[in-house]
Amino acid sequence: MTVQIDHALEEIRRFRPSPEFAAQAVADDGLYEAAKADRVGFWADRARELLTWEKPFTRTLDWSNPPFAKWFDDGELNVAVNCLDRHVEAGLGDRVAIHFEGEPGDSRDITYAELTDEVKRAANVLEGLGVGEGDRVAIYLPMIPEAVVSMLAVARIGAIHSVVFGGFSSDSLASRIDDAEAKLVITADGGYRKGRVFPLKPTVDEAISKSAGSVEKVLVVKRTGNEVGVEAGRDVWWHDTVAGASGEHAPKAFGAEHPLFILYTSGTTGKPKGVVHSSGGYLTQAAFTHKNVFDLHPETDVYWCTADVGWITGHSYVVYGPLANAATQVLYEGTPDTPHPGRWWEIVEKYKVSILYTAPTAIRSFMKLGRQIPHQFNLRSLRLLGSVGEPINPEAWIWYRHVIGGGSIPVVDTWWQTETGAIMISALPGITDLKPGSAQVPIPGISIDILSDDGTPVEGEDGGLLVITEPWPSMLRGIWGDPERFKETYWEKFGDKYFAGDGARRDEDGDIWLLGRVDDVMNVSGHRLSTAEIESSLVAHPWTAEAAVVGATDETTGQAVVAFVILKQSQAEAAQADTAAASEELRKHVATQIGAIARPRQVFIVNELPKTRSGKIMRRLLRDLAEGRQIGDTTTLADTSIMQIISEQVK
Ligand code: WTA
């Protein structure tokens, strides 16, 4: 049923859950009531209901030393056992855990019994390579089953993984290896992307040669068979070791607060932060949200989250949430348009995917291609759609629901962050009326507020800054090796409330609308990038004197990186003659230094940057320019005519 409600500025549509969906929904209203009556007790119940504890916890939350929270801290569990062994013991060994689809078209089904066996073997290999409790392991792999196996094998032995997205450069990989002092790197000869082999091992070799020397061993999966160098004594092949290893591995239990992983994410400064997550609290909220937000019926559903394991979405909703819930899922290695633009929909048809979780940027690029492509495939198996990574515009939401979902199935827009570990704001399908464009309501057990800049809560229909007012189980436990930065980044602004960095607005029904980042973090295709990090990369180029980067609105990618660069005098003349070549060189430079995802859409060579009298670059004006808008207020500029000159140059 559709309810149309007039709104002062825009039309808000609301969709009631269908009675059929509501009748079979996993979530129920009681969850909100239970959480409201006793928030901490609610999470204790979830932790007991969803996880298997080797040693039950007696303490739920310790918030005596904020912002350092402890959840379930006297309990012990093994995360890998919770994702694998216990399902096999419960008789689910023959259930498919992973339908793997390689980009070239190779595919393989892996049952829970097989996955458990492979993880045990890999755990034995890791221990044989000298990895133990608390050691860090960097994982730099394509989206292949071995990525999942590696993460779980690391977790099983109580080591800590740091997955680095395969698109990052050797510099980015090296700085992450160094920051975490990783002892082992797990990689592959290469992976398939856009119909080609992209090499990974040479990047690892380069990264290790640049790094400080913590890496002792490299474990290499053979995926593509391309030639790679093997360093004797350091490099070992996965197939030489894992296949022959023992399938017996007795798991140890670790404390609930034992770190499970580090994941680096962009902040407002040049250096990425190593966000640290725990074992018990993280897994509780990942499993709870995966089950309730996606309405998971593990016996019948086929779930597919399209995120790469290099991002938090891949950690929580490809690996830990789905496997803790014994789900059957699709794992796809490649890009959506290889070898044809209908590849995703072909996969949905092939595996009868019932739950699909993806990003608005993907939806918008499919919209551009037109509905005739998905309509060539049978998508009737789909019964729930999810979105994550950036605000989904109502138009894309409606297209997703109608063209992909056939018009009547729920679409959930989920707001969360690397730091929150799991979904924080989302409708619960079957319960909540859905409203396109709004992430809507905090999930049960989560306390959210919107504050004005001075910290007073915003009342009624108004906008401000999004905060989380109470600790939550899957919250980050800190920044690796930098407790001060943890406090400064998230807790300084509003004291004991977690400041998310996002703007938000509440509507007349109390629903939350996310308005994007309020800091210097950009969101490009759902990936977080820091303006400062790209600026320092540009400035590291010998030609660059000064650089300013902004995130400009982009129809497909949400935001796009646009850079303004002043060249050094010595270079200026030569480069000025051919500014197109100079900007191409700088674009390439950023891609090599950070990774292809950071490559600016445009680099404008300019003579000046707009600065205030105190020398601060006014990025707001550059954003106006990059978006082709009327330039805003320039009165605080040291030289008010500067924007005129820059505009001329950019033309
Ligand atoms: C943005 C990704 C609006 C937001 C899980 C946040 C969203 C940042 C949404 C975190 C959404 C994520 N609606 N904005 N549904 N989901 N964001 O750490 O700005 O890669 O702060 O985590 O993405 O990005 P991250």
Q: How many helices (H) and strands (E) does the chain have?
A: 22, 32
E-only strand ranges, 154-257 = 160-163, 184-188, 190-193, 196-199, 217-221, 235-237, 254-255
Query: Is 425 touching ligand 1 by the criterion CB < 6 Å?
Result: no
- Would you state the pLDDT for residue 494? 95
pLDDT band at 638 (very low <50, low <70, confident <90, very high): confident
**Whose CA is closest to atom 24 on ligand 1?**
417
- How far apart (Å, rounded) are the C-alpha atoms in residues 265 and 569? 35
**Residue 469 structure tokens:** 């007012």
Query: Is 413 touching ligand 1 by the criterion CB < 6 Å?
Result: yes
Query: Is 388 touching ligand 1 by the criterion CB < 6 Å?
Result: yes
Q: How far is the CA of 259 from the CAs of 37, 47, 290, 387, in angstroms?
A: 30, 17, 21, 28
In what helix (H) or strand (E) does residue 282 lie, and over which residues does it extend? helix 280-293
Query: Is 114 touching ligand 1 by the criterion CB < 6 Å?
Result: no
Q: Taking 90 as the threshold, does the pLDDT of residue 67 lie above it?
A: yes
Number of alpha carbons in the 13 Å side-chain half-sphere of residue 647? 15
Closest CA to 390 of 429, 364, 353: 364
**Whose CA is closest to atom 13 on ligand 1?**
391
Tell me the per-residue pLDDT of 251-305, one tens digit each, with 9 for 90 and over: 999 999 999 999 999 887 778 899 999 999 999 999 999 999 999 999 999 999 9
Structure-token match 């992209």, residue found: 198
In the three-class reduction of DSSP (H, G, I as helix; E, B as strand; rest coil), residue 608 is classed as coil
**Whose CA is closest to atom 10 on ligand 1?**
417
Judge if pTM exceeds 0.85: yes
User: Closest ligand 1 atom to the C-alpha of 392?
Assistant: 13
- Would you state the pLDDT for residue 271? 83
Distance 244 CA to ligand 1 centre (A): 42
Query: Is 273 touching ligand 1 by the criterion CB < 6 Å?
Result: no
**Whose CA is closest to atom 12 on ligand 1?**
389
- Would you state the pLDDT for residue 639? 86
Q: Is the distance from CB of 385 to CB of 412 less than 8 angstroms?
A: yes
**Residue 63 structure tokens:** 């918030």
Distance 417 CA to ligand 1 centre (A): 5
Query: Is 265 touching ligand 1 by the criterion CB < 6 Å?
Result: yes
Instruction: Tell me the residue length of the chain.
Output: 651
Q: How far is the CA of 640 from the CAs of 247, 604, 633, 651, in angstroms?
A: 71, 20, 10, 19
Distance 390 CA to ligand 1 centre (A): 5
- How far apart (Å, rounded) are the C-alpha atoms in residues 415 and 8? 25
- How far apart (Å, rounded) are the C-alpha atoms in residues 344 and 4? 32
Q: How far is the CA of 201 from the CAs of 167, 176, 191, 221, 432, in angstroms?
A: 12, 16, 10, 10, 47
**Whose CA is closest to atom 14 on ligand 1?**
390
Q: Taking 50 as the threshold, does the pLDDT of residue 453 lie above it?
A: yes
Query: Is 514 touching ligand 1 by the criterion CB < 6 Å?
Result: yes
Query: Is 418 touching ligand 1 by the criterion CB < 6 Å?
Result: yes
Distance 437 CA to ligand 1 centre (A): 14
Q: Is the distance from CB of 544 to CB of 586 less than 8 angstroms?
A: yes
Q: Taking 90 as the threshold, does the pLDDT of residue 17 lie above it?
A: yes
- How far apart (Å, rounded) are the C-alpha atoms in residues 620 and 432? 37
Ligand 1 pocket: which of 390, 443, 513, 518 to mutate (most atoms within 8 A of CB): 390
Query: Is 414 touching ligand 1 by the criterion CB < 6 Å?
Result: yes
Bridge partners of residue 111, in order along the sequence: 96
- How far apart (Å, rounded) are the C-alpha atoms in residues 540 and 532? 12
In the three-class reduction of DSSP (H, G, I as helix; E, B as strand; rest coil), residue 220 is classed as strand
Bridge partners of residue 193, in order along the sequence: 196
Query: Is 415 touching ligand 1 by the criterion CB < 6 Å?
Result: yes
Torsion of CA 305, 307, 309, 312, to 10 degrees: -100
Tell me the per-residue pLDDT of 321-366, one tens digit each, with 9 for 90 and over: 999 999 999 999 999 999 999 999 999 999 999 999 999 999 999 9
Rounded average pLDDT over 500-511: 95
Structure-token match 């003659």, residue found: 577
**Whose CA is closest to atom 22 on ligand 1?**
417
User: Left (φ > 0), alpha (ψ -120 to 50) or beta: where does 478 sit?
Assistant: left
Helix then strand then coil, in percent of the chain rounded to 5, is 35, 25, 40
Ligand 1 pocket: which of 416, 435, 465, 468 to mutate (most atoms within 8 A of CB): 416
Distance 416 CA to ligand 1 centre (A): 5
Distance 415 CA to ligand 1 centre (A): 6
> How far is C-alpha 430 from the geometric centre of its chain's CA atoms?
26
In what helix (H) or strand (E) does residue 478 lie, and over which residues does it extend? strand 478-479
Task: Tally Cβ neighbours within 10 Å of residue 178.
Answer: 16
User: Closest ligand 1 atom to the C-alpha of 439?
Assistant: 15
Query: Is 465 touching ligand 1 by the criterion CB < 6 Å?
Result: no
Provide the mean pLDDT of the chain.
94
- How far apart (Å, rounded) are the C-alpha atoms in residues 262 and 258? 12
**Residue 615 structure tokens:** 């020398």
Rounded average pLDDT over 176-200: 97
- Regarding predicted confidence, which is higher, 527 or 96? 96
- How far apart (Å, rounded) are the C-alpha atoms in residues 490 and 119? 36
- Would you state the pLDDT for residue 12? 62
Query: Is 316 touching ligand 1 by the criterion CB < 6 Å?
Result: no
**Residue 100 structure tokens:** 């793997």
In the three-class reduction of DSSP (H, G, I as helix; E, B as strand; rest coil), residue 533 is classed as helix
